[in-house]
Each structure stands twice: as structure tokens, then as C-alpha cells.
Structure 1
């Protein structure tokens, strides 16, 4: 049976999970939840996910949310091997560390920097938040020194998560090219993810997301 996937195309976490599903060959039954219209607060959705967040996955009664957990679950259950999320404790720990860095530092800095404009709370970016985002990218650049991918010699779910964050930052106007290691890794990821519909799932949606942000910044 298809797996129900509650999402919004523009949502960065949704994009990451959708790319990963393509990579492991899982068909998702897409169900749009427009958080901009408050649909996540409907009684029907709250019964599925009381935390009312997207993406949310329902695999024949097993409900899970948080994109990074969803990606790990899909690899563990459906992938042909563990290369995207290795079972070896040390190798998996590095992947997890990169995922935690993304959610707790890189994406967190991105959200604080740009989302107040997206949500209409302000039309001015706080310079301190820009500095925090730059610091996060500097750390990512150090992580990627001498590495083709974020946590291994091959793609892992850490790359799926981080590439969506980086592409979103770029769509908002952040200069990713200032960081040599990040820029090289970014190009590697885009090429490696082409076969998983990177352009359709992530690049086009990131561009639309950026256009929305810029329109609200300039309004």
C-alpha cells in the first residue's frame, strides 16, 4: 500500500523527505496540508499529528513526523542497503551529528534570519542573525574540508537534509559561494541527486520559496 505523506511543496523539510523517498524507491501518496492557511490545525490532521507539523508520514497506521526521523525510518525499512544511513555505530553517529547540526544550528540560524520576513513580522533582517548564519556556514565549511559528502564517502541522509537547507538559504539571497568547501559539496550533491528528481522536488520549490521571501522583503 502507498504511504500517506502530508506535506507542502515549498516546505524545506518536506522536500528533503521526498527526495529521500525517491532515492529508496518508496511511493508516497501526497496529501497537501497548507500551513499558510492553517490546515494543520484541522481536527482531522490533529488526530494524526497532535504537534501539527509537516512533513507527517503514515505508513499503514505507523505515524511519524520530523523529516530527519522519517528519512532514517525509510532507509531502515525500505532501502536495499544501509549506505544512506549506515548501521555501523560510528558511521551512523557521524550522520546523526550532521543531522543535529543541521536542525539545531544551520537550519535554526536560517529560520531566525529569514522567517520573520516570510511571516510578515518584519521587513528588515537582523544583522546579528546574519552573523549567526555566517558562523553556521563557516562551521559547515570546516566539516566539509576534504570531503565529497557531508558524513561519508557517499551520499547519506545528512546530505539530503543539509542540501535543502543550503539551497533554501541560496534562494533567499545568501551567498553560498563564499565558502569553498560548501560550494564544491553543493555542486556534488546536486549532480548526485539529479536522478532523484532534485530539480522538480527541490530546486523549483526553493526558487518559489525565495521569490515569496523577496516579495515580502521588498513590499
Structure 2
């Protein structure tokens, strides 16, 4: 059986877990505690010398990048093809994925860094404002796209949706922190600012197995 080493709340780990749930592929979870340095243990570094999460292990086969893990899991089941069914649809999926990974993800990390992981001695206001500006532009594009189709690349859920969802949830969480909320970034509430994105989030949350992927500590906040 597939083993997944992951960090709770990491968008990279979350997208892999959600892929497995959507595909109905079972896996054994191993939660990594970064505070304990488990990602830097000799055992883990032997599998991934970079010490990054997530990590997928299937027998002797090890995968260390989340997109590659998504592809590997997708190939394990015929249920709900996530990477297209022909040349055109596959190209569209990877086009959407590229936009998520290289545009939305970068902007999300710019917001997450000063809100969720910031130094207590630094004033993050300017960095947060700049991140908010970039994310408003990204979410506007996404909202327009989702006004034309139920999913990011058309009429069926794809890997682009799976990769995007954890980023959107991270944006909502980060924008809701006091240090960001007081700046009125124009990102939340989603249903008022970006209604099509908000409706898409509800469709994603209704997916079978979604609840099992939600970071437990996020529920407690």
C-alpha cells in the first residue's frame, strides 16, 4: 500500500491527500512533526535528501514532489481521470496546473509568510498589502473562469482544481488573521468578493473524502 509522509496544513501535502481521496486510492498516513525535526531525521533524509514534504513511498518506489505524486496516484485508479482523457484535455489540465503552481501559489506564499509564519519582531503590513494586490488579481481571473464553467478547466474536476483548493483555503485562513484582517485586503469573505470561487469551494468541500483531508488544527481555530 502507498505510504504518505505529510505535514498537516501544508498545501503540498493536502493536494496529494485530496488526490488520493478523489481517486479512491488507499494510503497509510505518516504525519511529520516539523517542530521535532522529523523531516530532518536520518531515516527521512535517506528517502529525500532535501528533507521536504510530502513524500510518497510505494514499496521501494519513492516520489518526492507533490505533482509527481498526484500523477502517480491518478494512474492507480480509473476513477475520475484528473489529468485529461485525450491530448486536448490533458494540455488544458497542465495549462491550468501551470497557472495554479506558478501564479496563484507564488502569491499565496507571499501572503502566508508574513501572516502565518512571520517573525514577531517584524512589521508585515507592506508585504501583506503587496501579496493581497497580487492575490486579488489572481482570484479575479479564477472567479471569471468559474463563472463560465463549474471547474477550472471545464466541465469536469481535474488536477488543477485539486492543486488550487489548498491554496484558496490558505488564503482565506491567512487573510482572516488579525494582522491581515485590519488591512482590508479585499480577499474575504469569498462569497462577497469572489462568488464563483466561493461556490467552487463548496463543490470541492462536497467531494467524497474531503473531510478526511482537512488539517485538524484548522478546525480548532
TM bucket (normalised to shorter chain) is 0.7 to 0.9
Q: Which runs of 5+ in 2 are unaligned?
A: 177-186
Inter-partner Cα distance in structure 2 for 1:135 and 1:114:
17
Say whether the 8 Å CA contact 2:151–2:161 is kept in structure 1.
yes
The aligned residue for residue 200 of structure 2 is: 185
Inter-partner Cα distance in structure 1 for 2:29 and 2:142:
32
Matched, 1:107 2:105: yes
Pair 57,185 (structure 1): closer, same or farther in 2 beyond 3 Å: same
**Alignment match of 1:116 (pick from 98, 102, 114):** 114
TM-score, normalised to structure 2, is 0.83
The aligned residue for residue 8 of structure 1 is: 7
How many positions carry a matched residue from both structures?
204
Pair 95,36 (structure 1): closer, same or farther in 2 beyond 3 Å: farther
Shift of residue 205, structure 1, vs aligned partner = 5.1
Inter-partner Cα distance in structure 2 for 1:155 and 1:203:
22
Of the structure 1 ranges 173-182 and 156-165, higher mean CA displacement relative to structure 2 is found in 173-182
Inter-partner Cα distance in structure 1 for 2:80 and 2:173:
32
Shift of residue 204, structure 1, vs aligned partner = 4.7
The aligned residue for residue 80 of structure 1 is: 78
Inter-partner Cα distance in structure 1 for 2:218 and 2:103:
20
Inter-partner Cα distance in structure 2 for 1:123 and 1:184:
34
Deviation digits for residues 144-194 of structure 1, max 9, x if unmatched?
Answer: 231101113121121111112112211222412211321222222222x1x
The aligned residue for residue 129 of structure 1 is: 131
Say whether the 8 Å CA contact 2:23–2:80 is kept in structure 1.
no
Shift of residue 34, structure 1, vs aligned partner = 1.7
Superposition RMSD in Å: 2.0
The aligned residue for residue 217 of structure 1 is: none
TM-score, normalised to structure 1, is 0.83
Inter-partner Cα distance in structure 2 for 1:187 and 1:93:
26
Pair 89,82 (structure 1): closer, same or farther in 2 beyond 3 Å: farther
Of the structure 1 ranges 169-178 and 54-63, higher mean CA displacement relative to structure 2 is found in 169-178
Q: Secondary structure at 2:214's aligned position in 1?
A: helix
The aligned residue for residue 27 of structure 1 is: 26
The aligned residue for residue 199 of structure 1 is: 211
